[in-house]
Structure 1
Amino acid sequence: MDEGLVVRRVIPADNSCLFNAVGYVMENDRNRSSELRQVIATAVGNDPVHYNEAFLGKPNEEYCAWILDPEKWGGAIELSILADYYGREIAAYDVQTARCDLYGQGKGYTERVMLIYDGLHYDALAVSPFEDAPDVVDQTIFPINRDGSIGVAEALAESLVKEDQRRRSYTDTANFTLRCGVCQIGVVGQKEAVEHAQTTGHVNFQEFR
């Protein structure tokens, strides 16, 4: 695409943002989380040798039950499986570092989609023909060029990510402060939040400053 701009399409912050962001860029559907969680559980359950406890961080069967829970977040493992499921590369841009992690690379896929991650949350990236255009005209799937890039769309995405980084539009997960929505206790950083969740079973956190 030789014109337009890259826009962030906001995905609801409901613990399933990764799956719904992928659903949007792949299928223009923000409500695919339950189906895509099942896709991942099936892929992992069908290959316990590759998806072993060392790889997953928990036993295969336990992971499969865990990922089906709508309260659980997805990350690199899930993006890798979804890239293979759709047969397209997934570029995930990290605002804090301006790094792009590419899933499905080197497998001969001819198209790519793009996500953006702020440390806690995934949104979708799309090319829109003009500012404030409706999302029905979004382009979210891009052909991969011979040089491995997606041309103008990639440069526009990198520019957006760097601008968000400059504005510090990300969450530093090592040092951010959260309050438990159940018992109102404050915690600092992802590590303390995980420990609190494991101790109490509470998973409803809100960021505060």
Structure 2
Amino acid sequence: MEGVVVRRVIPSDNSCLFNAVGYVMDHDKNKAPELRQVIAATLASDPVEYNEAFLGKPNEEYCAWILNSEKWGGAIDLSILSKYYGREIAAYDIQTMRCDLYGQGMNYQERVMLIYDGLHYDALAMSPFEAAPEEFDQTIFPVNKDGSTGPVEGLALNLVRDANRKRSYTDTANFSLRCGVCQIGLVGQKEAVEHAQATGHVNFEEYR
């Protein structure tokens, strides 16, 4: 397989996870509303499996929450979308260089790849050369018998290592945030979450 693995940037509009999945699955960066609906319908259809302990909030509340275009997606949503599309989703974390594989063990024959910088998801694609137009992107890869996707996996890891070396990630445990509502300074995701729960403020900006 000739080519390079490239990072396709998805707009930062709180729906990057869904639009990144839309791009790698369907070459469509505007699928967030549709995929949020898919997740809400899946959760609502099985409140026993998707219970409060699993979701971290009551099923109905999570459904309403994920339909709100201001809210971010996460691991629960990736696992549901993997099942919906019948493909594995590999999410590479730049900071830890870990790959979380959703849909593993389901005998899916294909895999797509995302990259995560601590706050934001982008799509990964195989392109014939660095500046090739997006219509030439290959985003769906056959899974081999050994569970790998062959050479593309190594190329993806190299890209992730390179991004890690350049520190192009947000250290969510230690980054400095300011609440956009009351301007209070916070450190890390934990403090931000606590502040949001205490005040209802969810408009944070990173500052260095």
TM-score range (shorter-chain normalised) is: over 0.9
Deviation at 1:167, TM superposition (A): 1.6
What letter is aligned with 1:150?
A: T
| Root mean square deviation of aligned Cα | 1.0
Deviation at 1:147, TM superposition (A): 1.1
What letter is aligned with 1:203?
A: V
Deviation at 1:170, TM superposition (A): 0.9
The TM-score, its normalising length taken from structure 2, stands at 0.97
Secondary structure of the residue aligned to 1:187 is: strand
- Which residue of the partner structure matches residue 27 of structure 1? 26
The TM-score, its normalising length taken from structure 1, stands at 0.96
- Which residue of the partner structure matches residue 159 of structure 2? 160
Identical counterparts, % of pairs: 77
Deviation at 1:201, TM superposition (A): 2.7
- Which residue of the partner structure matches residue 207 of structure 1? 206
Deviations 1:148-196 (A, max 9, x none): 1111111100111111111211111111011223333221111111122
Partners of 1:178 and 1:133 lie apart in 2 by: 37
Partners of 2:128 and 2:178 lie apart in 1 by: 40
**Ranges in structure 1 where 5+ consecutive residues have no aligned partner:** none
What letter is aligned with 2:164?
A: Q
Partners of 1:146 and 1:179 lie apart in 2 by: 48
- Which residue of the partner structure matches residue 101 of structure 1? 100
Q: Are 2:33 and 1:67 equivalent residues in the alignment?
A: no
Aligned length: 208
Partners of 1:187 and 1:27 lie apart in 2 by: 38
Structure 1 window deviating more from structure 2 (196-205 vs 168-177): it is 196-205
Deviation at 1:197, TM superposition (A): 2.1
Secondary structure of the residue aligned to 2:25 is: helix
Secondary structure of the residue aligned to 2:99 is: strand
> Residue 178 of structure 1 contacts residue 205 of structure 1 at CA under 8 Å; is this kept in 2?
yes
Deviations 1:64-89 (A, max 9, x none): 11111111111111000000000100
Structure 1 runs of 4+ with >3 Å offset? none
